[in-house]
């Protein structure tokens, strides 16, 4: 099977979308799939405003389509809603090709948080973008329900996993942690307004607060919270040690669709404190590996009483192999749907109707 995957998010970006895509596609290749990735590194690009790590590729539907056709793709997956995703979508609709998409980011909520505007226009755009997809792959059941409320009912679960060989308890303590007062309360992720970090950093708590990650809000938060240890972006063994050396993982985000860092933290032996919102509700829920509460301080106090072993045990239920099988099933289902539709279609049609440019609302 030859699969073309189009994504505006790719290395050298460091985020959950990129890790998920690269891990899943690597597993598919190990199973015998032939995979083509069409990503910003193949094109001239510009930095995304307020998010310069993301490069906006300057690519036309024709050029992206020629790459897909030259590869001889049996299936097309569009992972993101950016310029490359738009180009691939336009090509697929023009040629009448079936495709799948995935929903990784609450784009309307991110824009609303940054620009202080209503998320409604963003949701209209997402309904328009994902509407023609045979399947929309989502990380959690609650996200599937949310998209169904937005009119996108063709969802299929594509969960996430964790590398238990990398993220584990008992690793050497990071040098940066030596001398810190316990408990060490850790957050890992992009340092940006949509991550709601101030809900955590502004709390008066015992111990030490540590933030791992980079982003546009890093300088301002460093200045406002001088008692917080900001370590910047970490990867590999350094990231694993940062997790394992802490006592608790605090996740104040209200906009993440899954929160891959939640699973990495639990695998490292960290119970979780978070708000009871989609993402934490699906990943942590009532597992006993964390506490979810609208009063984040109470969640932290409660989660500190949870044994580290409970977090490790829960994390072991998240498998990248199982997640890759879900992705694979979604692709194969979409191809089956496409074949059934072609078989049922009238045979005398010679023109594919043009798609409307935008939805009515």
Residue 167 lies in a domain: no
Domain stop point among 275, 295, 315: 315
Helices (H), the chain: 16-30, 61-71, 83-95, 107-115, 120-130, 141-149, 198-201, 218-224, 236-244, 260-267, 280-283, 296-303, 308-315, 320-344
- The whole-number pLDDT of residue 212 equals 98
Could you tell me if residue 166 is inside a domain? Answer: no
Transcribe 302-324 into DSSP letters.
HHTTS-HHHHHHHHTT--HHHHH
Residue 197 and residue 246 in one domain:
yes
Residue 356 lies in a domain: no
How many distinct structural domains can be found in the chain? 2
pLDDT at 336 over 90: no
- Here the CATH number for the domain that contains residue 81 is 3.40.50.2000
pLDDT tens column, 245-290: 999 999 999 989 899 999 999 999 999 999 999 899 999 999 999 9
Please check whether residues 192 and 311 belong to one and the same domain.
yes
In the DSSP assignment, the letter for residue 252 is -
Q: Which helix H or strand E contains 6, and what residues bound it?
A: strand 2-6
Token digits for 352? 């594919």
User: What is the per-residue pLDDT across 207-253, written as a single tens digit (0 to 9) for each?
Assistant: 999 999 999 999 999 999 999 999 999 999 999 999 999 999 999 99
Q: Are residues 148 and 185 in the same domain?
A: no
Angle at 214 between CA 211 and CA 217, to 5 degrees: 90
Over residues 40-74, the pLDDT tens digits come to: 999 999 988 767 777 889 999 999 999 999 999 99
In terms of residue numbers, what domain contains 237?
175-315
Contact 18, 102 (CB under 8 A): no
Q: Is the pLDDT of residue 347 over 60?
A: no
Residue 196 lies in a domain: yes
Cβ atoms of 214 and 190 within 8 Å: the answer is: yes
Distances from the Cα of 67 to the Cα of 22, 60, 355, angstroms: 20, 11, 22
- Under the banding of pLDDT at 50, 70 and 90, the label for residue 358 is very low
pLDDT band at 360 (very low <50, low <70, confident <90, very high): very low
Q: Residues near 313 by Cβ (< 8 Å), separated by ≥ 6? A: 289
Question: Tell me, what's the pLDDT at 338?
Answer: 60
Contact 218, 191 (CB under 8 A): yes
Residue 53 domain flag: yes
């Amino acid at each position: 099977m030859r699969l073309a995957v189009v994504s505006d998010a790719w290395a050298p970006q460091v985020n959950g979308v990129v890790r998920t895509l690269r891990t899943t596609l690597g597993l598919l290749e190990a199973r015998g799939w032939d995979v083509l990735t069409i990503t910003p590194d193949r094109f001239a690009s510009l930095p995304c405003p307020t998010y310069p790590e993301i490069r906006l590729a300057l690519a036309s539907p024709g050029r992206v389509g020629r790459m897909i056709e030259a590869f001889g793709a049996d299936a097309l997956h569009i992972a993101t809603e950016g310029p490359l995703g738009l180009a691939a979508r336009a090509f697929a609709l023009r040629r009448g090709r079936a495709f799948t998409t995935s929903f990784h980011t609450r784009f309307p909520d991110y824009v609303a948080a940054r620009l202080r505007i209503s998320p409604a226009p963003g949701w209209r755009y997402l309904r328009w973008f994902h509407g023609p997809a045979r399947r929309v792959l989502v990380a959690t059941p609650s996200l599937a329900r949310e998209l169904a409320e937005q009119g996108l009912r063709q969802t299929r679960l594509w969960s996430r996993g964790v590398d238990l060989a990398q993220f584990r308890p008992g690793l050497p303590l990071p040098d940066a942690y030596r001398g810190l007062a316990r408990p060490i309360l850790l957050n890992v992720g992009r340092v940006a307004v949509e991550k709601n970090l101030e809900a955590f950093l502004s709390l008066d708590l015992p111990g030490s607060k540590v933030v791992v990650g980079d982003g546009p809000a890093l300088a301002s938060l460093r200045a406002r919270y001088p008692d917080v240890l900001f370590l910047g972006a970490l990867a590999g063994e350094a990231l694993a040690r940062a997790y394992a050396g802490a006592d608790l993982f605090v996740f104040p985000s209200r906009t993440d669709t899954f929160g891959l860092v939640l699973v990495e933290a639990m695998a490292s032996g960290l119970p979780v404190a978070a708000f009871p919102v989609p993402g934490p509700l699906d990943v942590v829920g009532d597992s006993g590996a964390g506490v979810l509460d609208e009063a984040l301080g109470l969640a932290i106090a409660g989660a500190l009483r949870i044994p580290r072993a409970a977090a490790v045990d829960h994390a072991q239920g998240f498998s990248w192999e199982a997640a890759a099988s879900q992705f694979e099933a979604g692709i194969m289902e979409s191809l089956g749907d496409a074949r059934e539709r072609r078989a049922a279609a009238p045979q005398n049609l010679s023109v594919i109707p043009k798609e409307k440019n935008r939805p009515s609302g």
